[in-house]
Every structure is written in structure tokens, then in C-alpha cells.
């Protein structure tokens, strides 16, 4: 799937800085930013910087991946509950699938998430990594 340079440019700041929206009406936060609150429908929203740490609530491991992601297989995708309660769906990096657990503390990091070959665009985004890396012992 190819994204246009304009689309990558427009979405870079919320992904790079983990920016969400907070509803002035109900007070709930959401990510990614949307034009209306997904909880109450209000359009009275303010941009907020979200916490960069949280815990894994659930996760899945994807072994069969789309073309362009073969070098990243298996992919670990998780629902992360940030420290303020906001939920984010994001990849988990710097961990093996067997080491990932629900309740594991994670922190946001910037990672290359896609590229269009040697001369194409490179897209970056937020992924999460364990705050304490688990090392296997033999």
C-alpha cells in the first residue's frame, strides 16, 4: 500500500509526538485524533500530548504479513493503555513474541514503519518497547 507524500506529511506530527485530542464536553481523550469525540460526539476538542508510557492490555502476533513487511515478521500489535487511560493500538518493537505479556510496562519510541524501496519515501511512526527488556537464560 503506497501513501502519498502529502498524506505522510499531514499525519506526521500526531504520529511523531503521540498527540491526541481531549473532549471539552466529556473530558475523555482519544488517539488517533479525530474531528469529533468518539465517546460523546462533541466537536469541542483540544490537542493534548499523551503520556509516552503505559501497559499492554492485549496483543496479537501476526506471522503472515503483507508484502513490504516481510522483513518485520512476526509483527506484534498491542492495545496499550497509556498512563492517563487513553488506549492506543501500536506495534511492539525490541521484543520477541514469547517475551510479551499483558500488564507489561512499555514506552513509546519512534521507528521506521514503512518505506517504498531504495529511492522511495520512508515513513516513521510510534511503536512501543518494553521498559525492562527480558533476557533469556540458557
The pLDDT assigned to 73 comes to 84
> CA–CA separation, 99 vs 70, rounded Å?
21
> CA–CA separation, 19 vs 109, rounded Å?
14
Cα–Cα separations (whole angstroms), residue 137 to 53, 134 = 27, 10
Q: Residue 138 is placed in which grid cell?
A: 540458557
Q: Give the residue among 116, 43, 128, 111 at the shortest CA–CA distance from 77.
A: 128
For the chain, the domains span 5-130
Q: What is the pLDDT of residues 68-116, one digit of tens each?
A: 667 778 999 999 999 999 999 999 999 999 999 999 999 999 887 766 6
Q: What percent of the chain stands above pLDDT 90?
A: 59
Query: Against a cut of 0.75, is the pTM above it?
Result: yes
Amino acid at each position: 500500500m503506497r501513501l502519498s507524500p502529502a498524506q505522510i506529511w499531514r499525519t506526521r506530527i500526531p504520529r511523531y509526538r503521540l498527540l491526541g485530542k481531549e473532549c471539552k464536553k466529556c473530558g475523555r481523550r482519544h488517539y488517533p485524533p479525530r474531528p469529533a469525540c468518539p465517546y460523546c460526539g462533541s466537536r469541542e476538542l483540544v490537542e493534548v500530548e499523551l503520556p509516552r508510557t503505559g501497559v499492554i492490555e492485549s496483543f496479537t502476533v501476526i506471522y503472515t504479513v503483507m508484502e513490504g513487511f516481510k522483513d518485520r515478521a512476526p509483527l506484534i500489535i498491542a492495545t496499550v493503555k497509556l498512563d492517563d487511560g487513553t488506549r492506543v493500538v501500536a506495534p511492539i518493537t525490541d521484543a520477541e513474541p514469547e517475551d510479551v505479556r499483558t500488564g507489561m510496562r512499555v514506552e513509546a519510541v519512534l521507528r521506521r514503519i514503512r518505506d517504498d524501496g531504495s529511492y522511495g519515501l520512508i515513513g516513521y511512526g510510534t511503536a512501543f518497547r518494553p521498559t525492562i527488556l527480558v533476557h533469556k537464560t540458557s
